[in-house]
Structure 1
């Protein structure tokens, strides 16, 4: 299937209207207490109106200690429910399937924002982080489950577990540093355990039509490709997920590791048995040709980041024009403001990405 406009049925919940999802994107536009701000609402609603089949929030912290960014959306307290409900209602009215990405910063959390100690799978003096006890890991698992229930209560169609990019769940996968002696460290099976427990906990606590996804990074952050493939194979075969979201950084490249050169990174995942679990990929997909190529290589859908910032209607444009390509960067701040990028998001893009804003 290479038709980007084709609907995508899921095991649970509503079918997606096409094969393009908005990637979860840090934008710093929420209120200091994690409640929804109008700027974040406008940013996401504009993407739903632009034709993204799935619109996912930024990484939303599942506990106060997990906050990693200023202006980060929260899903750790019922006081955040009114804004979350408003967002879920708005996305549904605009025609998109909706999801909250669930995240805990771990050693990348910011104690100055949270007022809480920084925690991680291991002691990390450089980050001021203290190793979680076994009981505290169990609490973290429950925090993810409770956040998923909160998302369902707010009316979202599903959630995605953030197991990528070096945040807490990915930190447990880090073979270099996670040498815990309990059931959450050491062997690959033990390091994978938190992922499986969060998945099974959410599946048990939410309804049968609630969609559940997982984002993984196959490289960097102490992740070795063979282990990433093994974990992906496990969760694809298990059937508890509706989709696996592989954040490849570049969907067209070869792996970093020398022993895996000569084969595209994406191929390590598209060739895995997946049953009816859907597989999505993200990374430098900025035009219609690249998006179609990912489907030709075996992905079920693509997640759009940069191009979704540049163009709220990227899916609509791609479906209408098989040669469509996002604007080259940098772009003017005026263009981004017209695309519902609010002041704090614009400042973040200007400050952290040297080639985004002219």
Structure 2
């Protein structure tokens, strides 16, 4: 397998241009990190505002919000950011204005939990491509699938109205869009399941709908899982190939868990190589997973990525991007870290509690 590099002159500090919207000042993106800091109704909290604004000041070329639910039925956890109604617009607008003032490009990640939503929060059975009683999930009707597409499009329009530079559709990690790609379970017979083309249909319709409903300067991204959750590596590659050559996307973010990983279910080489060798059209390819140093980020470019998303590193250092650009040997501080250190990095109390519950060895006890 051959892996094309972006070119010998490509560096992390390079300005990155896209078919739509503003250029990024560098190749670093803030990963869309779940942080549970929003108010119960999905509106923006001051803590979430501080968290994101600090990353804009910290030098990231793109600052992306956490997954924001596009309809009430899609809410997956308490404290989740929302973009499901105009009630969310004031906070969205305030955040977009603040991020613009830092000089970063801004995006909202659009999300629907599907079978991974929380009925205790939504007050209704979970929506899914198939019936799954163990998850309190019922199969969407064809009309409801069409409504999901419309909800993603409406959320993107809302983000544009608020002043964001773009959106990213969350198609990874077994949430609703990714559930449609699941070859094990999605056997629908209404054109949204069964064959690969039909399982891919909702992805295409969401991207086409957003592109048609937003302006020519609005950026559109997509996050995908390379394999797992019912997606084979072969089909993961084909999904990536189709979206990158569609002319619809500005950037594709492959969530690799760890950029140095090998395929978990068969396949040679490293996961990153199975996507870096694909034709891209005008789409920029991003990768995410365990990037915690300047060397890690440079390595991603050397393996053929155009962009690098940073999660843990951005929690530990609000200015990870600025430091990595300035210091060739920069690496994040040792873990675990104290709550006080995280507070100084603009990580709010609800986010710290979430990290302490679910992230091993990040928060000191």
Instruction: Tell me if both proteins adopt one fold, taking TM over 0.5 as the criterion.
Output: yes
The answer on whether the counterparts of 1:64 and 1:116 sit within 8 Å (CA) in structure 2 is: no
Instruction: Describe the superposition over 1:217-272 as per-residue Cα deviations: whole angstroms up to 9, x where unpaired.
Output: 012211111000001000111111001000000111110122x03x1110111111
Are 1:331 and 2:337 an aligned pair? yes
Hey, what does 1:295 align to over in structure 2? 301
Q: 1:226, 1:41 → 2: CA distance? A: 39
SS in structure 2 opposite 1:299? coil
After superposition, where does 1:174-193 map in structure 2 within 5 Å?
Answer: 174-193=182-201
Are 1:37 and 2:45 an aligned pair? yes
Are 1:202 and 2:210 an aligned pair? yes
Hey, what does 1:9 align to over in structure 2? 17
Q: Which runs of 5+ in 1 are unaligned?
A: none
Q: 1:234, 1:302 → 2: CA distance? A: 21
Instruction: Describe the superposition over 1:180-222 as per-residue Cα deviations: whole angstroms up to 9, x where unpaired.
Output: 1110000111111100000000000000110000000012211
SS in structure 2 opposite 1:238? coil
Runs of 4+ displaced beyond 3 Å: none
Are 1:214 and 2:222 an aligned pair? yes
Instruction: Describe the superposition over 1:95-130 as per-residue Cα deviations: whole angstroms up to 9, x where unpaired.
Output: 110000000000000011112221100000100100
The answer on whether the counterparts of 2:181 and 2:230 sit within 8 Å (CA) in structure 1 is: yes
Instruction: Describe the superposition over 1:108-160 as per-residue Cα deviations: whole angstroms up to 9, x where unpaired.
Output: 00011112221100000100100001110000000000000000000000000
Are 1:52 and 2:57 an aligned pair? no
Hey, what does 2:357 align to over in structure 1? 351
Q: 1:275, 1:119 → 2: CA distance? A: 34
The answer on whether the counterparts of 2:237 and 2:275 sit within 8 Å (CA) in structure 1 is: yes
Cα RMSD between the aligned structures?
0.7
Instruction: Describe the superposition over 1:270-291 as per-residue Cα deviations: whole angstroms up to 9, x where unpaired.
Output: 1111122100000011100010
Q: 1:313, 1:162 → 2: CA distance? A: 25
SS in structure 1 opposite 2:245? helix
The answer on whether the counterparts of 1:28 and 1:345 sit within 8 Å (CA) in structure 2 is: yes
Q: 2:81, 2:324 → 1: CA distance? A: 30
Q: Which runs of 5+ in 2 are unaligned?
A: 1-6
SS in structure 2 opposite 1:204? helix
After superposition, where does 1:102-141 map in structure 2 within 5 Å?
Answer: 102-141=110-149
Q: 1:275, 1:100 → 2: CA distance? A: 24
Give the count of matched residue pairs: 356
Q: TM-score, normalised by structure 2?
A: 0.97
- Out of 34, 52, 72, the residue aligned to residue 26 of structure 1 is 34
Q: 1:112, 1:253 → 2: CA distance? A: 36
Are 1:97 and 2:94 an aligned pair? no
The answer on whether the counterparts of 1:245 and 1:279 sit within 8 Å (CA) in structure 2 is: yes
The answer on whether the counterparts of 1:163 and 1:170 sit within 8 Å (CA) in structure 2 is: yes
SS in structure 2 opposite 1:59? strand
Instruction: Describe the superposition over 1:33-85 as per-residue Cα deviations: whole angstroms up to 9, x where unpaired.
Output: 01000000000000000000100000000000000010000000001100000
SS in structure 2 opposite 1:45? helix
